[in-house]
Structure 1
Amino acid sequence: MARKGRTFVVIGLGAFGSAVASELARFGNHVLGVDADERRVSQMSATLSNTVILDAGDENALREAGIDSYDVALVAIGRDIEASILATMNMRMLGLETIWVKASSRTHHRILSKLGADRVILPEQEMGRHIAQMLHNPLLQDYVSLGNGFNVVNIIVPDKLDGTPIADLHLRDTFDLRPLGLMRGTEYHACVAEDIVLRREDKLLLLGKRPDLRRFGDTL
């Protein structure tokens, strides 16, 4: 049957790899799960489009499984750095368009980057920073890093700002921040003219650099 859209192969079906693979499948993508552990493959067989038991360090086995026809690879092998490196090299040799790899250390990160991985992920460190940001400021519900120092944050409007026009916060002039909009219950309101009056429990979306966002957060 013909595949539609981008196709994904996830190498390594541990906790991280299986979580990513399951979400990709839930979004309606064609996902192939690969692991040398028969038990892990069996657990994911009903969730993913296809699963296969094989050693990702074996280029010929990968080619025979048709992995060279996939668009995107996530190498999610855990602590076995050698296996992770070999799998990454094989993904590159097979000509996959996009390769993301999970790293277990900064040294591992540097090696994978040299091998040409499009993105190298340190999940524990990235999640640790994410959680620390939210613990530091309880009003920060979530944030997304856009690169080059810019972030979009989702801040819960506190009681002290209830009834305050957004313009009175002087976000652009004082903090060099751009208000993108806010969620009030299930309704989205744009903040183009900054004429909206804030209400307690609104979720305000702000764009800016981390130091500026932190300066504003400290005033709350």
Structure 2
Amino acid sequence: MSTQQKRSFAVIGLGTFGTTVASELARFNNHVLGIDILERNVANVAETLAEALIADGRDEQALREAGVGNYDVAVVAIGEELEANILCTMNVKMLGVPTVWVKAISRTHHRILSKLGADRVIQPEQEIGRHIAQMLHNPLVRDYVSLGNGFHVVDFRVPDGLAGKRIDALGLSDAFEVRVLGLMRGTEFISCKRTEEELQADDKLLLLGRREDMRRLGDSL
């Protein structure tokens, strides 16, 4: 059983993005408060979240009365209304919420929110767009996670041309500066310490490296 401590989240703005974030957090058994200015959006999550309130994120007093300042994390998911998004961010910061994540709609908006002290600024459309483009560009890349500073962990499907080769014979570290973290074969994880393991088609290599090095590897195959 997981011993991870649950946290409390206030999600302000219950459009598609905010509703998805709030519902998933609730599914992980966190206490989630959902807030939106529109009654229909609040009604959509009323049975999913611990609390759901109709309130205006621009109104500091309304957020105070809702108890937002007592939450561990605030997620400002207000979308197209730039003024409302910025004012809401200012309000949750003034209420003393320890961690604030905010949705941005442009690079300029991103800079403003960063100046206001947002702990994390998200541009979902751009981030998922880059993610999809990377996988479309190289069909061998099934998925990846950015670790920051240009490093990624990539779930890389082994092509037919590498079937039968040993992991230690690939020379990925020398030729591409890419490190093999492990191998998934079906539901079995094979440690990278077993370098004598022969690859099979459709095995999945877990690789660590920089984006440009991963691209060179993919292009070489």
Q: What range is the shorter-chain TM-score in?
A: over 0.9
Deviation at 1:5, TM superposition (A): 2.3
Q: CA offsets per residue over residues 91-141 of structure 1, 9 Å max, x none?
A: 100111110100011111110010000010111111111000000001110
Q: Secondary structure at the match of 1:47?
A: coil
Q: CA offsets per residue over residues 20-44 of structure 1, 9 Å max, x none?
A: 1111111111111000000000000
Identity over aligned pairs, percent: 65
Deviation at 1:11, TM superposition (A): 0.6
In structure 2, what is the Cα distance between the partners aligned to 1:125 and 1:65?
Answer: 32
CA RMSD between the two structures: 0.9
The residue that corresponds to 1:158 in the other structure is 159
Q: Secondary structure at the match of 1:56?
A: coil
The residue that corresponds to 1:92 in the other structure is 93
The residue that corresponds to 2:216 in the other structure is 215
In structure 1, what is the Cα distance between the partners aligned to 2:80 and 2:101?
Answer: 16
Residue 198 of structure 1 aligns to which amino acid in structure 2?
L
TM superposition score normalised by structure 2: 0.96
The residue that corresponds to 1:47 in the other structure is 48
Residue 43 of structure 1 aligns to which amino acid in structure 2?
N
Matched, 1:63 2:64: yes
Matched, 1:183 2:184: yes
Q: Structure 1: 5+ residue runs without aligned partners?
A: none
The residue that corresponds to 1:35 in the other structure is 36
Single out whichever of 169-178 and 186-195 deviates more from structure 2: 186-195
Q: Is the 8 A contact 2:6 2:29 kept in 1?
A: no
Q: Is the 8 A contact 2:12 2:36 kept in 1?
A: yes
Q: CA offsets per residue over residues 145-178 of structure 1, 9 Å max, x none?
A: 0000100000111111111101111011111111
The residue that corresponds to 2:147 in the other structure is 146
In structure 2, what is the Cα distance between the partners aligned to 1:195 and 1:26?
Answer: 41
In structure 2, what is the Cα distance between the partners aligned to 1:97 and 1:106?
Answer: 24
Q: Secondary structure at the match of 1:79?
A: coil
In structure 2, what is the Cα distance between the partners aligned to 1:141 and 1:166?
Answer: 19
The residue that corresponds to 1:111 in the other structure is 112
Q: CA offsets per residue over residues 158-202 of structure 1, 9 Å max, x none?
A: 111111101111011111111111110011111125222111111
Residue 184 of structure 1 aligns to which amino acid in structure 2?
R
Matches within 5 A, 1:194-213: 194-213=195-214
The residue that corresponds to 2:16 in the other structure is 15
Single out whichever of 22-31 and 189-198 deviates more from structure 2: 189-198
Matches within 5 A, 1:66-85: 66-85=67-86
Single out whichever of 190-199 and 154-163 deviates more from structure 2: 190-199
In structure 2, what is the Cα distance between the partners aligned to 1:105 and 1:161?
Answer: 42
TM superposition score normalised by structure 1: 0.96
Deviating 4+ runs (over 2 angstroms): 192-195
Matched residue count: 217
The residue that corresponds to 1:136 in the other structure is 137
Q: Structure 2: 5+ residue runs without aligned partners?
A: none
Q: Secondary structure at the match of 2:206?
A: strand
Single out whichever of 188-197 and 176-185 deviates more from structure 2: 188-197
Q: Secondary structure at the match of 1:18?
A: helix
